[in-house]
């Protein structure tokens, strides 16, 4: 299958592995790229030195193109861009809003740039800055999400910009790929589906919790870090959701204390990170008001101190599940699609099956046009 995306990225299949902190490192990224899709290293949870190592390891595991996902608001974003350019990484994608000067530096070096968007306005803005493609993520998706469903967001964004649109949020099979192409996208990106592969490094105990989830098994909560975050519904998340303000504060502080110990952070350092995050969140809330995916506005009355503590600990919470294999203690970002997934194929098997099913779907639709058969 040839689309504007396969041409742009030099990949065999229009399938991108979405960036996932603590999940999409060299092993998953290289397995995806070796299977003909685009694998991506999520760098937000890595230091610069760790990213350097991850790029080397990924390049050692695959000769195919792969990408690095980064945050434009990271204090060392410019150094990360220099690293990506210096190491000749073919693709750079931005989690959240990019910055024009970073895009310009990457493009000048011949790196393909991709921005994440949650609304048409956002897509138009980054297209004008010169990004080569956008990933548009609907509200079904895992992690930080907006409220517009994929089925409405993709046709709107695809009609608004001339660059390839990669559809994300809820994709897991060949039927979804065909639907995305019909809406005007040039391919799909998937997070939860790639987390649930045998190539993903997530501990098996945690994968089993995802596999057991039903379609009602996720919840979008602001109680973790102040912005809407789709996660698996667990006892801890339920407690956070149910408690009133005072209760939430107490529980947050109690959880923060537990996870502070698990993460080895000093209170001073945790509060410093919490303050920085609170300021960052308030700035983002103001900047992104009404922009969709991340533009969910300022959290009501700002964040409570309990939330600040939790927010500082969000990486620790994610790590507790994704790396330490403690679904009881940790936080598990997840798309609603977890409710439809019940196997753990390799990336090669997954991508081959998606492409075969998409081929069958396209044939069936073509057959409808020729013969006028009714759809089944
Ligand atoms: C476990 C997990 C971790 C994630 N971590 C990140 C991240 O670090 N940065 C980011 O921009 N998006 C992150 N996301 C969001 C994904 O990049 C992507 O938008 C989402 O998974 C797409 O929806 P899907 O899960 O329905 O495929 C994460 C998603 C999941 C499921």
Cross-strand partners of 42: 69
Whether residue 331 contacts residue 311, with contact meaning beta carbons closer than 8 Å, is answered with no
Q: Which residues, other chains included, contact 108 with Cβ-Cβ below 8 Å and sequence gap of 6+?
A: none
CA distance 163 to 83: 26
What pLDDT is recorded for position 285? 38
Residue nearest to atom 23 of ligand 1 (CA): 141
What pLDDT is recorded for position 324? 87
Whether residue 17 contacts residue 188, with contact meaning beta carbons closer than 8 Å, is answered with no
What pLDDT is recorded for position 300? 37
Q: Which of 118, 134, 139 lies closest to 335, judged by CA?
A: 139
Chain center to CA of 102: 20
Q: Which of 128, 118, 210, 121 lies closest to 167, judged by CA?
A: 118
CA distance 219 to 216: 8
For residue 371, how far is its CA from the centre of ligand 1 (angstroms)? 41
CA distance 193 to 24: 12
Strand-pair category, 143-144 with 229-232: antiparallel
What pLDDT is recorded for position 311? 64
Task: Locate the ligand 1 atom nearest the alpha carbon of residue 21 and give its number.
Answer: 8
Within 13 A of 74's CA, how many CA atoms are on the CB side? Answer: 21
Pair of tokens at residue 152: 């409405």
The DSSP line for 257-302 is HHHHHHHT--HHHHHHHHHHHHHHHHHHHHHTTT-SSS---SPTTS
CA distance 261 to 376: 56
Q: How many CB atoms lie within 10 A of CB 358?
A: 24
CA distance 318 to 124: 32
Q: Cα Rg for the chain, rounded, in angstroms?
A: 20
For residue 370, how far is its CA from the centre of ligand 1 (angstroms)? 40
Ligand 1 cavity residues, CB under 6 Å: 18-21, 23, 42, 44, 95, 137, 140-143, 168-171, 190-193, 195, 333-335, 337
Cross-strand partners of 232: 218
DSSP type of residue 333? B
Q: Which residues, other chains included, contact 228 with Cβ-Cβ below 8 Å and sequence gap of 6+?
A: 144, 145, 146, 147, 220, 221, 222, 296
Q: Which residues, other chains included, contact 14 with Cβ-Cβ below 8 Å and sequence gap of 6+?
A: 1, 3, 5, 6, 177, 181, 186, 187, 188
For residue 208, how far is its CA from the centre of ligand 1 (angstroms)? 18
For residue 80, how far is its CA from the centre of ligand 1 (angstroms)? 20
For residue 332, how far is its CA from the centre of ligand 1 (angstroms)? 10
Q: How many CB atoms lie within 10 A of CB 82?
A: 14
Task: Locate the ligand 1 atom nearest the alpha carbon of residue 42 and give its number.
Answer: 8
Ligand 1 pocket: which of 39, 73, 135, 141 to mutate (most atoms within 8 A of CB): 141
Buried b (16+ CB within 10 A) or exposed e, 286-302: eebeebbbbbbebbeee
Task: Locate the ligand 1 atom nearest the alpha carbon of residue 137 and give its number.
Answer: 19
H or E element in which residue 134 lies: strand 133-137
For residue 188, how far is its CA from the centre of ligand 1 (angstroms)? 13
Pair of tokens at residue 139: 């509200």
What pLDDT is recorded for position 239? 80
Whether residue 323 contacts residue 186, with contact meaning beta carbons closer than 8 Å, is answered with no
What pLDDT is recorded for position 64? 98
Task: Locate the ligand 1 atom nearest the alpha carbon of residue 334 and give its number.
Answer: 31
Pair of tokens at residue 115: 């921005």
Task: Locate the ligand 1 atom nearest the alpha carbon of residue 44 and give its number.
Answer: 8
For residue 69, how far is its CA from the centre of ligand 1 (angstroms)? 11
Q: What is the pLDDT along the chain (376 residues), one digit of tens a residue?
A: 999 999 999 999 999 999 999 999 999 999 999 999 999 999 998 999 999 999 999 999 999 999 999 999 888 999 999 999 999 999 999 998 899 999 999 999 999 999 999 999 999 999 999 999 999 999 999 999 999 999 999 999 999 999 999 999 999 999 999 999 999 999 999 999 999 999 999 999 999 999 999 999 999 998 877 789 999 999 888 887 876 555 555 566 666 666 555 555 666 666 665 665 555 544 443 333 333 333 333 333 455 556 666 666 677 788 888 998 988 878 899 999 999 999 999 999 999 999 999 999 999 999 998 766 665 5
Report pTM. Answer: 0.87
Chain center to CA of 293: 11
Phi and psi (nearest 5°) for 36?
A: 100, 0
**What region does 233 belong to: left with phi over 0, alpha with psi -120 to 50, or beta?**
beta
Ligand 1 pocket: which of 16, 19, 148 to mutate (most atoms within 8 A of CB): 19
């Amino acid at each position: 299958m040839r689309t504007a995306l396969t041409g742009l990225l030099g990949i065999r299949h229009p399938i991108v592995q979405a960036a996932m902190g603590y999940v999409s490192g060299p092993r998953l990224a290289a397995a995806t790229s070796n299977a003909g899709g685009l694998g991506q290293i999520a760098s937000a949870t890595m230091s610069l030195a760790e990213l350097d190592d991850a790029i080397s390891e990924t390049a050692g595991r695959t000769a195919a193109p792969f990408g690095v996902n980064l945050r434009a608001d990271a204090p060392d974003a410019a150094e990360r861009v220099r690293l990506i350019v210096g190491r000749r990484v073919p693709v750079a994608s931005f989690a959240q809003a990019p910055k024009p000067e970073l895009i310009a530096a990457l493009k000048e070096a011949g790196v393909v740039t991709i921005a994440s968007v949650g609304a048409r306005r956002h897509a138009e803005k980054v297209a004008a800055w010169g990004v080569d493609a956008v990933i548009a993520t609907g509200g079904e998706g895992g992690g930080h999400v907006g409220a517009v469903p994929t089925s409405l967001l993709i046709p709107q964004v695809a009609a608004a910009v001339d660059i390839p649109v990669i559809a994300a949020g809820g994709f897991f099979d060949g039927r979804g790929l065909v639907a995305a192409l019909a809406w005007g996208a040039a391919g799909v990106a998937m997070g939860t589906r790639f987390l649930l592969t045998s190539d993903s490094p997530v501990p098996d105990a945690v994968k089993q919790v995802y596999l057991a989830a039903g379609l009602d098994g996720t919840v979008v909560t602001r109680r973790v870090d102040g912005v809407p975050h789709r996660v698996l519904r667990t006892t801890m998340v339920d407690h956070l959701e149910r408690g009133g303000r005072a209760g939430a504060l107490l529980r947050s502080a109690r959880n923060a204390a537990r996870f502070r110990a698990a993460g080895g952070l000093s209170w001073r350092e945790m509060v410093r990170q919490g303050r920085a995050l609170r300021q960052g969140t308030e700035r983002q809330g103001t900047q992104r008001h009404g922009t969709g995916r991340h533009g969910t506005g300022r959290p009501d009355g700002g964040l409570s101190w309990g939330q600040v503590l939790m927010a500082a600990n969000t990486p620790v919470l994610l790590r507790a599940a994704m790396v330490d294999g403690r679904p009881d203690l940790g936080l598990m970002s997840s798309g609603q699609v977890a409710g439809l997934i019940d196997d753990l194929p390799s990336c090669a098997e997954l991508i081959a099956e998606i492409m075969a099913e998409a081929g069958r779907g396209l044939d069936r639709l073509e057959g409808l046009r020729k013969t006028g058969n009714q759809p089944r």
